[in-house]
Amino acid sequence: MAALDPHAAVVTGATGAVPVAALTTADGRPLARALAISSRRARRRAFLLVLPLLAFVLITFVVPIGQMLHRSMYNDGFAANMPQVSQWFADTPPGTEPDEAAFAALAADLTAAAEAKTIGIVGTRINYDVPGTRSLFTATGRKARGGFEPPYKAALLDADEKWGDLRLWRVMRNASTAYTSNFYLAAVDRTRDDEGRIVMAPAQQQVYVMLFQRTLVLSLLITLTTFLLGFPIAHLLATLPMRRSNLLMILVLLPFWTSLLVRTTAWMVLLQQQGVINDLLVWMGAIDEQGRLSMMYNQIGTVIAMTHILLPFMILPLYSVMRTINPSYVRAARSLGATSWTAFRRVYFPQTLPGLGAGALLVFILAVGYYITPALVGGSSGQLISNMIAMHMTETLNWSMAAALAALLLGGVLVLYWVYDRLVGIDNLKLG
């Protein structure tokens, strides 16, 4: 009825509400909706464009790393293959002495696992916590071919008296749940004692904490040396005329195109006791035949070789930032009475910080994960944590342990990254 009222339009028109609502596109749709639709379409198209990259990152990076990290606290080698005895552990409070029912469950599980050829997996899992028990499982499994006769406790103790060891039962109880913190404990040189308390591992087994510390210290040292060596070179590159700086740039990049092993071996030839540098020093009479310097197969060798290998990662970001620094700033500072040192310290150096930050972060993160060079030139003292991760991945096949060590390393780097962000600011990075 209101539409028929000739005054109605005039009245509402006077308030100004109707003409706003009537803003439409050429084909009569409301403008706001049309805008929303078109911007949504643009967003969708943008998303579709990055979708391949997103899928690539997810499939090749996030998922495998997530699985690997999951492995560091999840190992169902015992729980999945020993269901009955795991159930007994679930039904009884911790500390319960194994009774006949427990041994019966164990005997049944051992027989089944030997049948299914999974007994090696079970033994491997327990062997992580009690070294030397893997063969206990496999040997008992071989005896279990025909099954055990009751009373099971006597039968199992007859097969091997180690089955009566309460420490073994405590470890089996711990392994009967797939989720465990044991690998993380082992990765920081801790273990559980007979009461289940967390204690230090025996002194002669303590190695990981020391290796983490060494990795951190050496990586920081290498970052520092690449900075000390790389800064002047980058400055030279940025200030020389183009033609000569291009030649220098090729020299900086040349090692990039040479195999890592070749570069490492070249350092061996130079630095070893019968090597070029020692021969030269002996020939010059600086040292005698007995006093040849040890510069290889120790930490010195590791630092020298890794500094050389990682140097371009420091030089390139520094160079790209230094090229953009206007030389007139320093000139202005000098003309206002600053000494060359003050002009460098207060005007030039602060402007290189974004490049320095990026270079330092790159070098440090690469150094933390290096293992080929330390393995070849590190000798006994140049071994890093990544060498142990590689060892657990490829030799002992203890992937849970490798994952726990890698997770700690990743966590440590992330913490440092966070500290770095608070101190320097990630927004200030310039990667080239």
Partner 1 sequence: MPLPRRLALTALLVALPLSGRAAELKVLSWGGEFSAAQQAAFARPFTQATGIAVDIVDAESPTALIKSQVTAGNVTFDLASVGLADAVRLCDEGLALPIDHRALAPGADGSPAAQDFLPGTLGPCFVPTDVYATVIAYDASRPGGAPQTIADFFDVTLFPGRRGLLKEPRFTLEMALMGDGVPADQVYATLSTPQGLDRAFAKLDQIRRNAVWWEAGSQPVQLLADGEVAMTMAYNGRIFAAQIDEDRPFRILWDGQVYETEGWMIPKGAPNPEEALRFVAWTTAPEPLARAAEQLSYGPPRRSSQALVGVYARDGKTPMAPHLPTTPENMKNALAIDTGFWVDHDAELTERFAAWLAGADE
Among 85, 107, 112, 119, binds partner 1 (CB under 8 A): 119
- Between 290 and 326, name the residue whose CB sits nearer to partner 1: 290
Candidate list 72, 75, 124, 140; residue touching partner 1; CB under 8 A: 124
Instruction: Provide, rounded to whole angstroms, the least separation between the CB of residue 44 and partner 1.
Output: 35
CB of 274 to partner 1, least distance (A): 5
172 makes contact with partner 1 (CB under 8 A)? no
Helix (H) or strand (E) holding 190: strand 190-192
Q: Tell the smallest beta-carbon distance from residue 226 to partner 1 (Å).
A: 24
Q: Outline where DSSP puts E strands in 124-188.
A: none
Any residues with CB less than 8 A from the CB of 387 and at least 6 apart, and which? Answer: 371, 374, 375, 378
Measured CA angle at 197 (ends 192, 199), to 5 deg: 60
**Beta-carbon count within 10 A of 102 CB:** 21
Shortest reach from residue 369's CB to partner 1, in Å: 17
Indicate whether 134 belongs to the interface with partner 1 (CB under 8 A): yes
Is there binding between residue 316 and partner 1 (CB under 8 A)? no
Under rule CB under 8 A, residue 176 binds partner 1: no
**Choice between 379 and 412, CB closer to partner 1:** 379
145 exposure class (CB count in 10 Å sphere: 0-12, 13-18, 19+): exposed
Cα distance between residue 429 and residue 432, in whole Å? 9
Position 210 contacts partner 1 (CB under 8 A): yes
Asked if 369 touches partner 1 (CB under 8 A), the answer is no
Of the candidate spans 4-12, 158-166, 265-273, 313-321, the one that interacts with partner 1 by CB under 8 A turns out to be 265-273
Task: Round to whole Å and give the CA distance between 72 and 143.
Answer: 33
CA–CA gap between residue 356 and residue 409 (Å, rounded): 23
Q: Strand, helix or coil at 314?
A: helix
Question: Distance between CA 126 and CA 290 in Å, rounded?
Answer: 51
Q: How far is the CB of 104 from partner 1 (least distance, A)?
A: 24
298 sits near partner 1 (criterion: CB under 8 A): yes
- What percent helix, strand, coil does the chain show, rounded to 5? 75, 0, 25
Piece of 47-55, 146-154, 307-315, 380-388 that binds partner 1 (CB under 8 A) = 380-388
Residue 396 binding partner 1, by CB under 8 A: yes
- Preceding amide of 151 cis, omega within 30: yes
Rounded to whole angstroms, how far apart are CA atoms 232 and 238? 10
Can you tell me which of 379, 417, 420, 431 binds partner 1, judged by CB under 8 A?
A: 379
- Residue 36 touches partner 1, criterion: CB under 8 A: no
Q: Compute the distance between CA of residue 39 and CA of residue 415 in angstroms, rounded to an integer.
A: 39
Residue 145 in the binding site for partner 1 (CB under 8 A): no
Residues at the interface with partner 1 (CB under 8 A): 116-121, 123-124, 127-128, 131-135, 138, 204-207, 210-211, 214, 268-269, 272-275, 297-298, 375-376, 379-381, 383, 388, 391-398, 401
